[in-house]
């Protein structure tokens, strides 16, 4: 047999042996490639940067919001609500936060801007951040940390005291929403469902037609007049 032909056939035989030994088919290889592509497309985006935010209905961000040593902080001096420059839907968001003693703040999602729309909370449902022990509003059971503010209360209370870091995770997948606080799922609801509509009808948002209706929008951090701190803010699309 020709020497070159023998080597070529030997190489093909070895390649076939390796493929069979691994049990990998061409379709499995393609599936693996697709999976890798999906993973790459859902990488975390870091939002712990002033460049990622601006004030609600404004082009810039107030100087009362400062970033120092990886912590985005509001000093409590009229900084105003801030929103992400980008809009999101079907996402997972994580961040650490701590509130000042007696303080109040919150996280909104699906926030929309328009001349006909009022504050951010007129469109975006709120994940509440508050000093449960000291703030008077926290006496209302639907106004405590982790609650879907004034609409649905958390199933359990896992918040740490004012001045300590808490970890929040928010999942929005279509109409389905989940609130996590310090590793535990504490609230779950479906936007637009009969249960949701009933809860909204019995809340302070009953007469606000734009509340909780958007399918996509900005993330917002609330200025409620109190110092609040955020770090490790990140988001990825699902």
**Distance linking the first and last C-alpha atoms of the chain:** 57
Q: What is the pLDDT of residue 19?
A: 41
**Per-residue pLDDT at 14 exceeds 90:** no
Taking a C-beta distance cutoff of 8 angstroms, is the pair 206, 188 a contact? no
**Per-residue pLDDT at 29 exceeds 90:** no
Select the CATH number that applies to the domain covering 45-237 from these four: 2.60.120.560, 2.40.160.40, 3.40.980.10, 1.10.10.10.
2.60.120.560
pTM over 0.85: no
**Per-residue pLDDT at 40 exceeds 60:** no
Taking a C-beta distance cutoff of 8 angstroms, is the pair 167, 94 a contact? yes
Q: How far apart, in whole angstroms, are the C-alpha atoms of residue 228 and residue 77?
A: 11
Taking a C-beta distance cutoff of 8 angstroms, is the pair 150, 199 a contact? no
Q: Tell me which residue of 235, 193, 221, 196 sits closest to 73, measured CA to CA.
A: 221
Q: Tell me which residue of 223, 210, 221, 218 sits closest to 116, measured CA to CA.
A: 210
Q: Can you tell me which residue has the tokens 């449960």?
A: 132
Q: Can you tell me which residue has the tokens 């030994």?
A: 21
Q: What is the pLDDT of residue 168?
A: 99
Q: What is the pLDDT of residue 42?
A: 73
Task: Give per-residue pLDDT as tens, 173-183.
Answer: 999 999 999 99
Taking a C-beta distance cutoff of 8 angstroms, is the pair 162, 134 a contact? yes
**Per-residue pLDDT at 216 exceeds 90:** yes
Cβ partners under 8 Å of residue 180, min gap 6: 168, 169, 170, 171, 186
Q: What angle do CA 175, 213, 183 make, to 5 degrees?
A: 45
Task: Please indicate whether residue 16 or residue 127 has the higher confidence score (pLDDT).
Answer: 127
Domain ranges of the chain: 3-41, 45-237
Task: Give per-residue pLDDT as tens, 42-69.
Answer: 799 999 999 999 999 999 999 999 999 9
Percent of the chain's residues with pLDDT above 70: 83
Task: Give per-residue pLDDT as tens, 142-178.
Answer: 999 999 999 999 999 999 999 999 999 999 999 999 9
Taking a C-beta distance cutoff of 8 angstroms, is the pair 225, 76 a contact? yes
Structure confidence at residue 77 as a pLDDT band (50, 70, 90): confident
Q: How far apart, in whole angstroms, are the C-alpha atoms of residue 134 and residue 98?
A: 14
What value does the mean pLDDT take over residues 190-207? 98
């Amino acid at each position: 047999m020709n020497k070159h032909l023998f080597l070529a056939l030997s190489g093909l035989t070895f390649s076939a042996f390796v493929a069979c030994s691994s049990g990998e088919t061409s379709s499995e290889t393609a599936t693996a490639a697709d999976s890798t592509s999906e993973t790459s497309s859902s990488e975390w985006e870091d939002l712990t940067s002033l460049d990622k935010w601006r004030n609600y209905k404004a082009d810039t961000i107030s100087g009362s919001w400062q970033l120092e040593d990886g912590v985005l902080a509001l000093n409590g001096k009229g900084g105003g609500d801030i929103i992400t420059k980008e809009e999101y839907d079907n996402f997972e968001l994580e961040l650490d936060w701590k509130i000042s003693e007696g303080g109040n703040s919150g996280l909104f999602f699906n926030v929309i801007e328009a001349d006909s729309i009022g504050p951010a909370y007129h469109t975006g449902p709120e994940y509440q951040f508050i000093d449960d022990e000291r703030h008077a509003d926290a006496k209302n059971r639907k106004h405590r940390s982790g609650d879907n503010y004034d609409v649905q209360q958390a199933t359990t209370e896992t918040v740490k005291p004012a001045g300590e870091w808490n970890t929040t995770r928010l999942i929005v997948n279509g109409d389905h929403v989940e609130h996590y606080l310090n590793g535990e799922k504490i609230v779950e609801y479906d936007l637009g469902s009969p249960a949701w509509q009933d809860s909204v009808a019995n809340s302070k948002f009953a007469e606000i037609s734009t509340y909780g209706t958007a399918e996509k929008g900005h993330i917002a951090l609330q200025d409620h007049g109190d110092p609040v701190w955020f770090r490790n803010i990140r988001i990825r699309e699902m």
